[in-house]
Homo-oligomer: A and B are copies of this chain.
Amino acid sequence: MDILSKVEPRDLKLNANEWVYNSLCQLILSGEFVPGISFTFRGIANSFGVSTMPVREAANRLISEGALDMSEKRRITVSQMTQSKFDELKVARLYLEPHLAGLALNHINSKRLNLLINIDKNLDYAISTGNVVDYIKYNYQFHFGIYEAGSSPVLLPLVRTLWLRFSPFYRIVSGRAGTQTMKDFHKSAIDAIKDKDSVALINAMHSDILEGMEMLNESLNE
């Protein structure tokens, strides 16, 4: 697989392992990796043009975060989704993400608000044109554009690991179900931010997550 073309070039201020880690995260979160796909340390190392060392550190980290699996066949794979995994991811997201948004609310300035509005515009366009890859990308940017405003030291990294776990699955399902059926709770989230209404923001995020996850759940039971 041609990986380098889909990845940001290396910033030499960053360590090699961080570059590889960030790149793999980006590939996972953008739905580029599909469940079941498998790699080897040496294969990834060749793709990135580095030795196996930084790849081992990056991949092992993703394995410990649950985003990747080390199969018993000595291969690194993107985990398959199961019903119990999905149910727990849904519960964790519903508990943590609205709260995280609430924590971030007071740190969202007008510049960030405009950024969110712009992201949501791109999101609408992706939906109308059925562009699944862009949909996933802008949906991530919207959610974490809110969450990252608060820079929560515990919940933010935690929620990020949840997204690393379901994003590959998201890609498959969206490819089948399409993006037409998705409602858009982002508008009410933006209104809540404008009004500095914490409760309304929490409700909007909750509804958005619930609807998105239930759509995924339907596809899981096909």
Contacts and interface: CB of A to CB of B under 8 A. Distances in A.
Nearest to A61: B64
A85 B153 contact: yes
Interface in A82-101: 82, 84-85, 88-89, 91-92, 95-96, 99
Interface string A129-169: 00000000000000000000000111101100110010000
Contact of A92 (B66, B85, B158): B158
Interface residues of A, number: 27
B155 A88 contact: yes
Given A64-B65, A96-B95, A154 B57 contact: no
Contacts of A158: 92, 158, 161
Q: How many copies does the complex hold?
A: 2
Nearest to A166: B154
10 contacts: A64-B65, A66-B154, A84-B152, A88-B152, A88-B154, A91-B99, A92-B154, A92-B158, A95-B99, A154-B165
User: Which 7 pairs across A and B sit closest by C-beta, in order of nearness?
Assistant: A88-B154, A95-B95, A61-B64, A88-B155, A85-B153, A85-B154, A89-B154
